[in-house]
Structures are given as structure tokens and as C-alpha cells.
Amino acid sequence: MSEATLQGRLAALQGRLASACARAGRSPDAVTLVAVSKTFDAAAVAEAYALGLRDFGENYVQELSAKQAALAHLEGLRWHMIGHLQRNKARAVVPGVAMLQSLDSVALAVEVSKRAAEARRSLPVLVQVNVGGEAQKSGCAPGALGALLDAVEALPGVSLSGLMTVPPHTEDPAGARPFFDALLALREAHGGPSRLPVVSMGMTHDLEVAVAAGATMVRVGNALFGSRKTD
Ligand SMILES: *Cc1c(COP(=O)(O)O)cnc(C)c1O
């Protein structure tokens, strides 16, 4: 099928995921695909929804809100906030997302919990970990993870679902492996799969490596929607 169409790119991506799962001896159902729609318009999301996708990731609050409003009629569509969230934007995001994947501080957890309680809900969250220790990246430091997980569990409006990371970029996708392994090791050190069932890692460039390392959720934009001009 042609990769000039969304349908063709989705088939190719599902093929990549299926072979990665097969090579890792994992069931294809063990990995959830989150379609990262940042910079692509609501029509592209609607087309992906029509092809069966339900989980969509956005990085920016305004863009997320605009697409939510445009696509409110699509039943069962789940929005994931995957970009850095400022505390003063929590109120705009919390009521309408299925999951916040970028929780990275106690202060943000407190604010998100408060806004979720106001919306009479409990929001599933992933704690983002900066496994590469990169100054320009968000995410909590590995050493601060234990305290943050405890804080999340003590708050009424957030429900701890797992961990997320964005590794440092390496030309060779295999270069991400040590960082993915580091996230899995942190999961084991902090309660394992029963406490942290979701491990969100792997993007267009390195999703095979992430699946081999144990990702349960991959976040893919370019391979699905075509190339973003800028990011
Ligand atoms: C943009 C983005 C992705 C998707 O990256 P692609 O290279 O387009 O697959 C995944 N996760 C986060 C946090 C992103 O910002």
C-alpha cells in the first residue's frame, strides 16, 4: 500500500510494530499506539480515527484545545497530553484529556489533582523521567522519582499509571537502548508493573528499540502523519 496515504502509512507502521513485537516475543496487543498529531490538523486526526485509531497525543495546550473542540463529536477518542505542562495551564487541560504523560513535579501533581477534583474526576498520569539527564528536557530526575510517585499516590485527583521518557537523540536508534533500559530498571526499582503498568517510550525513529526494551505504549507522529516541517 502506498505510503503517500495515511492508510498506507498506518499499515506500514502496524507492520513495524508487529514485527518488533514478534522479534521480542511479545503480543502485538501488549503495545498501545498513541498517534502524535501535533502540527497536523483536525482533519488528519479525523481521518486516523476513521481508520480505527483512538489515542492521540498533543504537545501544546492551545493546539490540543482547538482540536478537542473541533473533534468533540468523535466518540471514544482519547487525548494524551505529552508535552511539558505549565501549572497555570492545568485547568485548561485536565477536564478533556484521558491521560497526562508529562507529569514531572510535585507542584504540578498538586495543581493537576486540584483541577481534576474540581472536574469531579481522577486523571491517569504517567511520570516523565529525564533518563538522559539533559538540561533542556523536562522530566523528573531519576533520583527524585520515588518521592514524586509517593506524592502522586497520596493525591485524590490523579491516578498513577506508569512512566514515560524521551531519550537523548542518537543517529543510530540503538543508541536509545540504554535509556529505555534505564526506565525499565527504574520501574522495577519502584514497584514494578503492578504499580507502574504503563511504560510510554519509543517514537518514529526508535520504536523497534523501545518495544524490544519493554515499552507498553509508543508515541508516533511522523511515521503516521508524514513529516512535520518543524517541531
Ligand atoms: C513529537 C513527539 C513524539 C512523536 O515523535 P515522532 O518522531 O513524530 O514519532 C513523541 N513523543 C513526544 C513527547 C513528542 O514530543
Cell readout for 158 is 490523579
CA atoms within 13 A of residue 95's CA, in its CB half-sphere? 9
107 is a domain residue: yes
Number of domains composing the chain: 1
The percent of residues in the chain predicted with pLDDT above 70, rounded, is 98
231 assigned to some structural domain: no
Q: Which of 13, 16, 36 to mutate to test the pocket of ligand 1 (most atoms within 8 A of CB)?
A: 36
Of 105, 110, 107, 112, residue with least CA distance to 81 = 112
- What pLDDT was estimated at residue 230? 53
**Is 204 close to ligand 1, i.e. is its CB under 6 Å away?**
yes
d(CA 146, CA 43): 41
**Distance from Cα 120 to the centre of ligand 1, integer Å:** 30
Q: Are 34 and 56 contacting, i.e. CB atoms less than 8 angstroms apart?
A: yes
DSSP category for residue 89: G
For residue 158, give its domain range: 6-224
Which CATH number covers residue 67?
Answer: 3.20.20.10
CA nearest ligand 1 atom 13, residue? 82
Is residue 67 assigned to a domain? yes
Is residue 194's pLDDT more than 60?
yes
Q: Average pLDDT over the chain, rounded to whole?
A: 96
- 216 falls within a domain: yes
- 123 assigned to some structural domain: yes
DSSP 135-156: TTS-SB-GGGHHHHHHHHHH-S
Q: pLDDT (tens digit, 9 = 90+) per residue, 106-144?
A: 999 999 999 999 999 999 999 999 999 999 999 999 999
Q: Is residue 230 part of a domain?
A: no
Model pLDDT for residues 30-77, shown as the tens digit of each residue: 999 999 999 999 999 999 999 999 999 999 999 999 999 999 999 999
- Compute the C-alpha angle 144/181/213, nearest 5°: 135
Name the residue of 37, 79, 82, 207 whose CB sits within 8 Å of the most ligand 1 atoms, as the mutation to test its pocket. 82
150 occurs within a structural domain = yes
Strand partners, 2: none
- Alpha-carbon torsion angle 115, 121, 122, 123, nearest 10: -70
Quote the radius of gyration of the chain (alpha carbons, Å).
17
- Residue pLDDT, tens place only, 70-83: 999 999 999 999 99
Q: Is the CB of 59 under 6 A from ligand 1?
A: yes
